[in-house]
A and B are shown apart, each in its own frame.
Chain A
Amino acid sequence: MTDSLRMSALLAHPQNGGVRAIAGPEDAEWTGVVVETNEDALPADGGGRLAILTELPPTRPWQQDALVRRTRDRGFRALAIPHGDNFGTGTRALADRLGLTLLHADRPMLLAKACWQLVEAQDALTLGYVRKVAQSIEYHANDLTDLLRHLSSSVGHGVALIDAEGVLLEVGGQLAPEVHAAIDFAPWVDLTRMPAGTAASVRVDSPSREGLRLAFFGAGLDERQVSALAVAAEVAMPAVAARILIDEVAEVSDASVSSGVLRDFVDLRGTPDPEVERRMLERGWRTTGYHLAFRVVGRSRVDALQLLRFVMGELGRIPVDSHATTTGRGLSGWLTFSEPPAASQVEHYVAALRDLHVAARRSFNVATGVGSLASGSAGLTTSLSEAADAARIAVNRSNTGWFVRVDGLGLEQLLLAWTGNDTFVPAARSLLAPLQSGGGELLTTLSAYLDHESAVAPTATALGLHRNTVATRIQRAQELLGVDMSDPEVRLALHLACRAVR
């Protein structure tokens, strides 16, 4: 064995036989490796190499001292032995003093094999990694993270999925920011070696996401290890790309199923239905307890699935049982409490939902409505529909940051929200159509008149008209519409219609 061997590379090797540095220089480079059963068999010319002994070392301190001394005197730069961690402070101090690296090895033969791979048999090293990648693909993975976890534990190094912005997923360690910054995203394969760490990355060909890379990383890996890992990354990449697609398909189908369940539940309007209950329970949705519902809708076209993915991630930060699914142009969700939360707690969670809304608005043009706290199955329905109403209002409420909470609304706002739907507004328009002629002054006057308790004098004051003018206009409106305004039902209908078309 003639090639050089770095201590850091050996320590970073995933199957190095449990080698640990006990004493001596922090990092070192050796000219080679000698493996023998005991000290007597070591060659007299160490030549700056690492000596690995497979037999147990002596236990008495002076014998350990002598072993360290003689190994150094033979010209070796490092000594690896089983039970090296039994060496006392004196012997360690001596190793420091003599500049001999003292290594403990749980299994010296494995260490010898790792050295052989690093020094002489790079193909064996690469093949070993590739085989481990293949093994990890063989096992079932629940999702992408699970797959990366398999890869990481099998290969023995950290695995990360990265884009130019940062790390999306990482398992088995942390990719140092310096190393991430140094990775070149252009080429197919990139090898990065920095003092802070090393990484081998490969481009991920994913139709849904551009600019992704799969990186194997670790500290102190030498050039041979990094290039071997690059091959491993190339082999692992298609599996990762496929997994990204599978996860996306699964996500879409899961979202549509859960959306259907929620729709069915809301349609029941609180009537118990064992079938729907069962399907909800299957998704982990409990109807018992206390619920605080919210709805997030797009103010313009929004990818509901992307929004759901984002909101689900954010919900994870709120320490309470929470669920969400896509419905219509947005998503509905709710927080569930098993015990009734105190008013201050409710405020706290509403604030958390507002934070979520604010965070979502950085990427999506959305409005959010929050319902009131309600209990049980019927309560969940109520809270959900309140949240839907609030969201409908929030869409036009720039002054509240497109965030509306039902408890903060007047009753009339609610009433108006209901009148804002697609059936009422056309009806109201056609009802009031006769008043549109003549610049709409009749409609304005009628609205003001109804707003002022059907009193002529305050209406005239409010509009700056003579009271006779007001009385005449009301008379004309009555005639045009053909209604009797002394009937309270008629007055209510007209009042709502005026608001709806305004």
Chain B
Amino acid sequence: MPTILELASLPALATGFGLLGSGGGGATTMLELALRRSPDWPMTVHDVDELDPSTPCLGAAFVGSTMLLTERLPGSAPFAPLIAAAERWLGHHVPVVCSLEGGGLNGLAPFTLAGDRKIVDADLTGRAVPGLDQMSLLVDGVPGIVVTCDTGAGGVALVQTDRALDIERVVRASTIQAGGAGGLVFAGFTVGDLREHAIVGNAARALSIGTAYLEARSGPLEGLAAALGGRLLAEGRITAIDPDAVDQHVTAFGITGSAGEVHRLVARSENLALMTDGRLEAAAPDLIVVLDAISRDILEVTDLSRARHVAVIKLDGPAWWSRSPHRTRYVTPSAYGLDGLDGAA
């Protein structure tokens, strides 16, 4: 049965995607403000099973620097030229839209298309990830995927290839050409493909944990973690920020717990692992959410600064990634070149 979303549930939905971002994926604020003025409320979200499996589907998202999007605001219809190019290439209209990235601001991206298309509750990651080759459709090697993206000044690039890494590289180059951030559309698959090759029900999860978070926000941290269905792993002060010598994008945050525990939060553009007293407690694809322990704000990696008092909560990652060793290989810390952090219990 389709879910009807009222405008009033938008904050909970946005908060939920913020939590699923695992410290990355970008702040949802801008899209939340834009969606608040949308004429399409209430919006309908369909389960994948409710739609005809043969219905063509597309996914839309922003790529590049999420921080840049807060300064250079996307236009009123950021995906329109990209969808037009994809539909023209495919030769037919695509009536259904899903999410590409189920964490951070991109969780809200399909809702901007609610006027023209049906929204299906599915996405290709279930959390924030940095690489396009980590999209579930590409991981499983679904054929016929077409990708369009901005190249700047209204230009559009279209990539069709069987090599996932090429998509990552070409889109990345185009996005840099477009000024560091831009739109991205995946097409050439059907709703039926999503059933097996995507993470389904993530919007419902975002809504549910977002609601739970807003209710339990001011309570004790343990209670908040339990309300989210997660576990409080650490609470303490950030006492060290060690940039990695091998990969400049990697940072290890030292958090000293209230009882003297030595926590290490390892992050790239998302939080990837947490180690306590030399023992691995959580690692991607687990979701590792860092909150300000006092204000309870959901913190992105870039918000973490020395002496900040933080709490770390582990939420279960999408089960889809753990269903085969092949999939797991794309999201564990070793996929990011980090040794010794795989295999958290």
Contacts and interface: CB of A to CB of B under 8 A. Distances in A.
Contacts of B266: 62
Contacts of A59: 245-246
A65 interface: yes
A63 B260 contact: no
Interface string B198-229: 00000000000000000000000000000000
Contacts of B246: 59-60
B254 to A, nearest CB: 4
A91 B262 contact: yes
Contacts of A94: 262, 277-278
Nearest to B259: A97
Contact of A65 (B260, B262, B338, B339): B262
Contacts of A72: 278
Contact of B340 (A66, A68, A93, A98): A66
Given A88-B242, A94-B278, A97-B277, A62 B264 contact: yes
Contacts of B240: 61, 88-90
A97 B262 contact: yes
A450 to B, nearest CB: 99
Contact of B260 (A60, A69, A70, A93): A93
Interface residues on A, range: 20 to 34
A372 to B, nearest CB: 73
A58 interface: yes
Given A63-B339, A65-B278, A66-B340, A97 B254 contact: no
Nearest to B340: A63
Contact of B239 (A60, A63, A65, A90): A90
Contacts of A67: 278
B274 to A, nearest CB: 9
B310 interface: no
Interface size on B, as a range, is: 20 to 34
Contacts of A98: 277-278
A62 B245 contact: no
A24 to B, nearest CB: 14
Interface in A222-274: none
Given A66-B278, A94-B277, A94-B278, A60 B262 contact: no
Interface in B325-345: 338-341
Contacts of A60: 244-246, 252, 338-340
Nearest to A62: B264
A90 B262 CA distance: 6
Interface string A138-166: 00000000000000000000000000000
B198 to A, nearest CB: 32
Nearest to A70: B278
With most chain B CB atoms within 10 A of its CB, the pick from A62, A65, A88 is A62
A210 B138 CA distance: 93
Interface in B222-264: 239-240, 242, 244-246, 252, 254, 256, 260-262, 264
Contacts of B273: 62
A66 B266 CA distance: 13
Contacts of A62: 252, 264, 266, 273, 275, 340-341
B85 interface: no
Nearest to A90: B254
A66 B264 CA distance: 10
A97 B279 CA distance: 14
B245 A97 contact: no
Interface in B159-190: none
B84 interface: no
Contact of A61 (B256, B260, B264, B339): B264
Contacts of B10: none
A65 B256 CA distance: 13
Nearest to B245: A59
A62 B277 CA distance: 9
Interface in A53-86: 58-63, 65-70, 72
B275 A65 contact: yes
Contacts of A91: 262
B260 A97 contact: yes
Contact of B254 (A61, A63, A68, A70): A61
Nearest to A61: B252
A97 B256 CA distance: 12
A81 to B, nearest CB: 15
A90 B244 CA distance: 15
Nearest to B280: A66
Given A65-B278, A98-B277, A93 B244 contact: no
Contacts of A61: 240, 242, 252, 254, 264
Interface in B266-282: 266, 273, 275, 277-280
B65 to A, nearest CB: 26
A60 B266 CA distance: 10
Interface of B: 239-240, 242, 244-246, 252, 254, 256, 260-262, 264, 266, 273, 275, 277-280, 338-341
Given A88-B240, A88-B254, 12 more contacts: A60-B245, A60-B252, A60-B340, A61-B252, A62-B275, A65-B262, A65-B275, A66-B278, A69-B279, A90-B256, A97-B261, A97-B277
Interface of A: 58-63, 65-70, 72, 88-91, 93-94, 97-98
28 contacts: A58-B340, A59-B246, A60-B244, A60-B338, A61-B240, A61-B242, A61-B252, A61-B254, A61-B264, A62-B264, A62-B266, A63-B340, A65-B262, A65-B275, A65-B278, A66-B275, A67-B278, A69-B278, A88-B240, A88-B254, A89-B239, A89-B254, A90-B240, A90-B262, A90-B264, A91-B262, A98-B277, A98-B278
The 10 nearest A-B residue pairs measured at CB: A69-B278, A65-B278, A90-B254, A94-B262, A62-B264, A61-B252, A63-B340, A62-B275, A66-B278, A90-B262
